[in-house]
Amino acid sequence: MPTQSSQSSTALNSFAPRLLDWFAENGRHDLPWQQHQTDTPNPYIVWLSEVMLQQTQVITVLPYFARFMASFPTVQDLAAAEWDTVAEHWAGLGYYARARNLHKGAKQLVEVIDETGEFPQTLAGWEAISGVGPSTAGAIMAMGLHHYGVICDGNVKRVLTRWAAIDGDITKSATTKELWALAERLTPTENSGLFAQAMMDMGATLCTRSKPACLLCPLKEDCLAHAQGARLIIPSKQKNSPNLVNSVMHC
């Protein structure tokens, strides 16, 4: 399986500058939860949006995010709300376990704030919050706190597997480990929040699942999948057997 070593040091080192230049000119800068243009980022806003955006497109999330912010402008407001009220605000967004985790997480965050006077300041602190995994925690650290943070969500995995021609099954731990190592290698120590937003935009607007706009991509010169004509078959994912699919559908 090709690894990040398949790319030259020149390509690895130029990845972030080219991506950030593209983002400055072509990225999305008007999303209500973006914090890269403020000196006083709000981790609550980023946490809320990141949970909503799990498995859900931006255009779908926008009205729900606005509704939540209108009713629960602070994490304390969300924590104090009745579950039925939170569920009503979430109705229609799907994946309802996220709403449960969000409400539980708000209560946990309030406990942390009451004890320390601030939101969690470490990856471990955020990963201790219900429903927050490594990529979400990295996004909050980078975009919500302006600390160093690395993300490796679905969009990022698609960009990286194509760029480095990593053809392993992305559902397997070995491939996941390789992708995280590559994401960490590429993420700059400064402006990791800006880089995270740029990576999300790249995956959402150019390096899409079925119709990647390779001619517009700032990374196309050293994208190995593009060079190999393999951009539509990377990333790969092992198909579930019928029995496994049925068991998942009925669990």
Q: 95 in helix, strand or coil? A: coil
| Dist CA 49 CA 90 (whole Å) | 13
Element (H, E) at 225: helix 224-228
Strand segments, DSSP code E, in the chain are none
Give me Rg for the CA atoms of the chain: 19
| Dist CA 111 CA 79 (whole Å) | 10
| Dist CA 183 CA 177 (whole Å) | 10
Q: Buried b vs exposed e over 1-27: b needs ≥16 C-beta within 10 Å?
A: ebebeebeeebbeebbebbbebbeeeb
Whether residue 220 contacts residue 226, with contact meaning beta carbons closer than 8 Å, is answered with: yes
Whether residue 162 contacts residue 76, with contact meaning beta carbons closer than 8 Å, is answered with: no
> Which amino acid is located at 125 in the chain?
G
Whether residue 143 contacts residue 36, with contact meaning beta carbons closer than 8 Å, is answered with: yes
Of 25, 50, 111, 118, which residue is the catalytic one? 50
Query: How many DSSP H helices and E strands does the chain contain?
Result: 13, 0
Is 88 an annotated catalytic residue?
Answer: no
Catalytic residue numbers, as ranges:
50
